[in-house]
Structures are given as C-alpha cells and as structure tokens.
Copies of this chain bind each other. A is one copy, B any other.
Amino acid sequence: MEFDYKMVIVTRKNLDLSPGKLAAQVAHAAVACALDTKKENSKWFNKWQIEGAKKAIVKVESEKDFYPLKEKADELNIVSHIIADAGLTEIPAGTKTVLGIGPAPSNLIDQITGDLQLL
C-alpha cells in the first residue's frame, strides 16, 4: 500500500531516550505539525487524514543534521517543527529531541527525508 501523503518525524541516534520519552517527543512534533498544517494547508492536511494519517519515524546522527532538513522543508513550504524538551526528566532543558516534517505529499517529503533510515 502506497501513501500519497505522510508526516515524517526525525529522531537522533546520539540521544539515548527511553522508549516512553522518545514516544512523547515524537507525539509533541506530530501534534504541532498536524495543527499547523491544518491551519496553513488544509488541503494537504485533509488528504493526509483521509488516507489514515501515515507517520514515518526516521533517524539521523545528531542535532546538527536537523537543520539542513528543516531548511529544505522551508524551501518546499512544508511545515516543520524542532522540539525542545522541557527537561523535566532524562535530559537537560532545551535539548533538541526530534524534528517533525509535514504532512505533505510523499514525493515532496521524500526529497527531504527519502535517504534517511527508518528508526
């Protein structure tokens, strides 16, 4: 089954988060990106929702890899959010944990994250 629309959430290999902490960070990114896309590009948002709101979780080495991906998303007018942790547990406050991108057409998102490994 191919999805025409998806959201991608980029995680960091060099940040050792528990599965629960990681899931919370991914959820933060997903909610922020979904709400902004609903507001800024409701056509993409609605198509993504109707298809089942596909989310792919991928990984990069470290925080610095987030920035060229975010820049590419900006160029393509795709919503993106870097999540900074409140630092209540596990990691220092302000640590950049994940980058959410989309939802957007899969062929556009793949221009940004198509080469990244699934988590």
Please give the residue numbers on chain A whose beta carbons come within 8 Å of chain B beta carbons, in ascending order. Answer: 1, 9, 11, 18-32, 34-35, 38, 52-53, 55-57, 86, 88, 118-119
- Contact A24/B26 with A19-B19, A34-B34, A53-B31 known, Cβ cut-off 8 Å: yes
Assess whether B55 is in contact with A28, with CB atoms less than 8 Å apart. yes
Assess whether A20 is in contact with B53, with CB atoms less than 8 Å apart. no
Assess whether B27 is in contact with A55, with CB atoms less than 8 Å apart. yes
Interface of chain A: mostly helix, strand, loop or mixed: helix
Sampled A-B contacts (21; CB under 8 Å) = A1-B88, A9-B27, A11-B23, A18-B119, A19-B19, A19-B22, A19-B119, A20-B118, A20-B119, A22-B22, A23-B23, A23-B119, A24-B26, A26-B26, A26-B27, A28-B53, A30-B30, A30-B31, A32-B53, A35-B35, A52-B86
Chain B residues with CB under 8 A of A38? 35
Chain B residues with CB under 8 A of A25? 23
Chain B residues with CB under 8 A of A11? 20, 23
Chain B residues with CB under 8 A of A31? 27, 30-31, 34, 53
Which of A18, A19, A25, A88 has the most CB atoms of chain B within a 10 A radius of its CB?
A: A19
